[in-house]
């Protein structure tokens, strides 16, 4: 991770390099997918937030998303946006986890497309993507 807390290594296409939550990338580098919980109102957020949009508090604690979730929906992308055009087709999905966490992520390339279905048990995992990038995705449980 960069010394100044930048997000230059996160994702596939980079739109920002500065963040208020540089710890997120550090956790990903350690193989952990984390959410933040507001210490004032108790709500859990993923992707993590430094400031709570409900109570406007800025005291958060980090919570690892360990348990599997269920795939709620997915789509096959055949025409990708900038940065993804050479990766098509690929599958993205939304899964429900404990504490009302919903996550949007790429489906792992290790899951055959014909096995992807609503209700599939998935977990969030960390993947080094190319030599300099790190992302999270869904793996089949």
Q: Determine the Cα–Cα distance for residues 114 and 131; give it in Å rounded to an integer.
A: 29
SS3 112: coil
SS3 52: coil
Domain count, the chain: 1
pTM: 0.82
Assigned domain for 90 exists:
yes
103 strand-pairing partners: 95
Assigned domain for 8 exists:
no
For 102, the domain range is 23-140
Assigned domain for 120 exists:
yes
pLDDT in tens, 29-74: 899 999 999 999 999 999 999 999 999 999 999 999 999 999 999 9
Assigned domain for 15 exists:
no
pLDDT in tens, 106-136: 999 999 999 999 999 999 999 986 667 888 9
SS3 26: helix
Assigned domain for 50 exists:
yes
Assigned domain for 106 exists:
yes
């Amino acid at each position: 991770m960069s010394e100044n807390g930048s997000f230059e290594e996160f994702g596939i296409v980079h739109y920002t390099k500065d963040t208020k939550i540089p710890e997120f990338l550090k956790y990903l580098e350690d193989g952990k997918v984390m959410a933040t919980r507001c210490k004032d109102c108790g709500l859990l957020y993923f992707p993590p937030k430094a400031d709570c949009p409900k109570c406007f508090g800025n005291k958060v604690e980090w919570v690892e998303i360990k348990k599997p979730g269920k795939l709620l929906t997915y789509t096959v992308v055949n025409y990708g946006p900038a940065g993804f055009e050479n990766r098509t087709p690929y599958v993205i999905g939304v899964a429900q986890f404990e504490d009302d966490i919903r996550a949007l992520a790429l489906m792992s390339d290790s899951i055959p497309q014909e096995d992807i279905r609503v209700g599939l048990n998935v977990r969030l995992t960390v993947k080094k993507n190319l030599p300099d990038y790190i992302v999270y995705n869904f793996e089949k449980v």
